[in-house]
Structure 1
């Protein structure tokens, strides 16, 4: 089995059987290519020549590159899955990554927006224009549902149910989930669909049921959404970074800080494991102070 032929088989397996997203496949390919380059540098050209000692040497090379523990863990997980597939198909006799311990992940508090920062972002859109209506609907939907950017670009008009105020989202592995949204998002979406989207769609010679369109009437891309959010931050004169995933972090943080059940948030976010959702259980300083002031018997002085 040649390396690149094995990679091609695995990619086809990810696409057909696992229904993996293009982003997932891209990362798998990068991790495999990194490992293959290392093997070539060591003069190893057969899959069955790879053993635990070879893997340990590869890990040493990774750590010398000063990669984060998260990056190293991802590479190990990718390659472990790759060799699991090869072993299952009878292409190798064992998985050399099977007993490699994943480095402990760095516990970082997810970056999120405070309410005051969000309000400024909600106020910058010019609702007399089609693009302004689209931008407000976009940021309201992200904050209302916590969807991923890869999920957002696939949303169609028919995925919205304004009778129940829910949106149908296709997550990782094309798993379906319904997410409710509130009044602010509803008003922004209805205005955009009835006015702004129609104006944008008229600029294109094709028809599409994709919800969010660019200035030419074509479906928005992930880069397009990032560009829109960057401009909104500049217009709001905020000195903060913004990316679609930060709004997802904000959704989860605000939900949990207001008392939402952890498993409910897990389902809304489409997380397979509860441990993934638990990174959002940090408490903001404002929330911590309010809990203390309302709970401690002697927090408030008596008049």
Structure 2
């Protein structure tokens, strides 16, 4: 079978059977197309371990990041495992493929005081009644108050919110649904937005939408709008040039653990498939404890 044909069938499998996110499917398809373009062979059966190693080596030479190399190796292993299961190849050439380990970096996290100052400022700005100001305040409160992903926030519909209970039903990675809690500040901000701002934004659109958060033209808000908002308000606080909504997710998780939350509970709230993914926040908390100790203890 032609490699390009197999790649498209695999992408369809990821989308329809494994129900991965569109972004993940796009990334895997792009990686495997790059394999076909740079490695040489056009036949699926012609790809062996050496071809795969050369492909990753060339990617290293052109300066691809470790995270990119790790993702490409994962894409190749997943693809050839699937091809072997489908009896498209006799042997899986990726079984011994090793990519550089991802560099372990601690996530960007804002302090509690900084978040309090930021959210208080947006609550004050929202009191004038501007629909966008009310929306932005609700977005920031919900991202920090629940730790949800930007894709989950943008995909949230009105009937998935329960303001009385302070919960939201979101659809996470792999189309896995979970219910996440949020606190009183987020509930108040959402209530003000839904009653005072959302109707005005709906009136600007050409069609009624069930989405909670709407853009200036009345359509469902997109991730880029949320990225722009968070980057504008959070970057000066954390001292980073580039920062996005995920930084609020990191901050929420770290503050939960700092406050004594159980690691497994944080895993459930964030929707992590693996506890190992959640454990990185324990390192952030440990660093903060160490910094506090050094500042306060006479024997530090």
Give the TM-score normalised by structure 1.
0.90
Shift of 1:120: 3.4
Instruction: Output the CA distance in 2 between the equivalents of 1:18 and 1:116.
Output: 42
The residue that corresponds to 1:15 in the other structure is: 15
Question: Match for 1:288 among 287, 290, 299?
Answer: 290
Shift of 1:286: 4.9
Assess if the C-alpha contact under 8 Å between 1:168 and 1:177 holds in 2. yes
Residue deviations 1:146-181 (CA, integer Å, cap 9, x gap) = 111111111011111122211101001110111111
- List alignment gaps of at least 5 residues for structure 1: none
Change in Cα spacing, 1:55 to 1:132, as seen in structure 2 (3 Å) is same
Assess if the C-alpha contact under 8 Å between 2:146 and 2:180 holds in 1. yes
Instruction: Output the CA distance in 1 between the equivalents of 2:167 and 2:293.
Output: 32
Instruction: Output the CA distance in 2 between the equivalents of 1:278 and 1:7.
Output: 34
Shift of 1:258: 1.5
Assess if the C-alpha contact under 8 Å between 1:293 and 1:299 holds in 2. no
Shift of 1:269: 0.7
Give the TM-score normalised by structure 2.
0.91
1:1-303 superposed matches below 5 A: 1-40=1-40, 44-125=41-122, 126-127=125-126, 128=128, 129-233=130-234, 239-240=239-240, 241-282=242-283, 283=285, 286-288=288-290, 290=292
Assess if the C-alpha contact under 8 Å between 2:39 and 2:54 holds in 1. no
Change in Cα spacing, 1:237 to 1:95, as seen in structure 2 (3 Å) is closer
Instruction: Output the CA distance in 1 between the equivalents of 2:51 and 2:58.
Output: 11
Shift of 1:244: 0.5
Shift of 1:117: 2.4
Instruction: Output the CA distance in 2 between the equivalents of 1:229 and 1:286.
Output: 23
Instruction: Output the CA distance in 1 between the equivalents of 2:25 and 2:60.
Output: 24
What is the aligned-residue RMSD (CA, Å)? Answer: 2.2
Instruction: Output the CA distance in 2 between the equivalents of 1:215 and 1:141.
Output: 19
Assess if the C-alpha contact under 8 Å between 1:124 and 1:232 holds in 2. no
Shift of 1:231: 3.7
Instruction: Output the CA distance in 2 between the equivalents of 1:189 and 1:177.
Output: 19
Q: Secondary structure at the match of 1:202?
A: helix
Instruction: Output the CA distance in 1 between the equivalents of 2:287 and 2:78.
Output: 40
Q: Secondary structure at the match of 1:281?
A: helix
Instruction: Output the CA distance in 1 between the equivalents of 2:34 and 2:81.
Output: 18
